[in-house]
Amino acid sequence: MRGAFLLLTCLLLGGWTTAPAGSGPGPGTGSVDGYLMPRFVSLRTDEVNFRAGPGFQYPVVWIYKRQDLPVEVIGEFDVWRQVLAPDGGTGWVHEATIRAHRSFIITSPQASLRASPNEAAAVVAYLNFGVSGNLIRCDGTSDWCEAGTGHVTGYLAREDFWGVFPNETVGDH
C-alpha cells in the first residue's frame, strides 16, 4: 500500500516526469536531470533489473541481460529512469545502470552495413536481426547513420535499426 501511496503522491505533486514513448528528442527536458526527454541511452552492464516502479521496493518485472542495449528514457523520478526497451518492455531502472553511450540494435531481418551513406555503396557486412553495436553519428537530414560492430564500421539505413529518433542528429555535426 505504501508504494501505491508514493506513486499517487508523485503523480499529484508532479515529481514524476514522463514523455510519450517514441516521440523523438525533446520537446523538453527532464525536471530531475535536465537532459532531453525522451532520449536514447544504453544499459551499462550485462544484467539490469527493470522494476514496476521507481524504487527498490517495487518488484522486478524484467531482467535484461545485454550490456549496451539501447533503451529510451521516457520518465524520471529522483534517481530512477523509466525506460522502454526495443522489444517493448518497460520498467524503472536506477540511473547508475544506464549511460549516455549511443548504441543500436538491428530490427529488420537483415541490414546492410555500407561503405558510404547510400543504397548503391558497397556492402561492408550483413547484420542479422538482433545484432547490436555502437552508433557513431547521424546527420538529422540523412536516412543513414554511421555505426560499428565488432571491428567493422559503415553506414546503416535508419529504417533497419532501433536506437535513434527520426531526424535526430547524433555525434559530431
Write the DSSP string, 22-69: TS-S-SEE-TTT-SEESEEEEESSS-EEEESSSSTTSPEEEEE--TT-
Q: Which domain holds residue 48?
A: 25-101
Q: Does residue 13 sit within a domain?
A: no
Domain count across the chain = 2
pLDDT in tens, 85-107: 999 999 999 999 999 999 999 99
R_g of the chain, CA atoms, integer Å = 17
- Co-location of 111 and 95 in the same domain: no
- Co-location of 79 and 144 in the same domain: no
- Co-location of 45 and 79 in the same domain: yes
Q: Does residue 52 sit within a domain?
A: yes
Q: Does residue 56 sit within a domain?
A: yes
Q: Does residue 77 sit within a domain?
A: yes
Does residue 13 have a pLDDT over 70? Answer: no
User: Final residue of a domain: which of 61, 86, 101?
Assistant: 101
CB 95 within 8 Å of CB 113: no
Q: Does residue 16 sit within a domain?
A: no
User: Final residue of a domain: which of 73, 101, 129?
Assistant: 101
Q: Does residue 65 sit within a domain?
A: yes
- Co-location of 92 and 112 in the same domain: no
CB 32 within 8 Å of CB 21: no
pTM of the model: 0.82
CATH of the domain at 108: 2.30.30.40
- Co-location of 111 and 150 in the same domain: yes
- Co-location of 40 and 83 in the same domain: yes
Predicted local confidence at residue 173, as pLDDT = 54
Q: Which residues have a Cβ under 8 Å from the Cβ of 135 and sit 6 or more positions away?
A: 70, 102, 103, 104, 145, 146, 147, 163, 164, 170, 171
Q: Does residue 6 sit within a domain?
A: no
pLDDT in tens, 37-78: 899 999 999 999 999 999 999 999 999 999 999 999 999 999
Hey, what's the cell of 61? 518485472
Separation of alpha carbons 168 and 173, rounded Å: 11
Predicted local confidence at residue 8, as pLDDT = 35
- Co-location of 96 and 32 in the same domain: yes
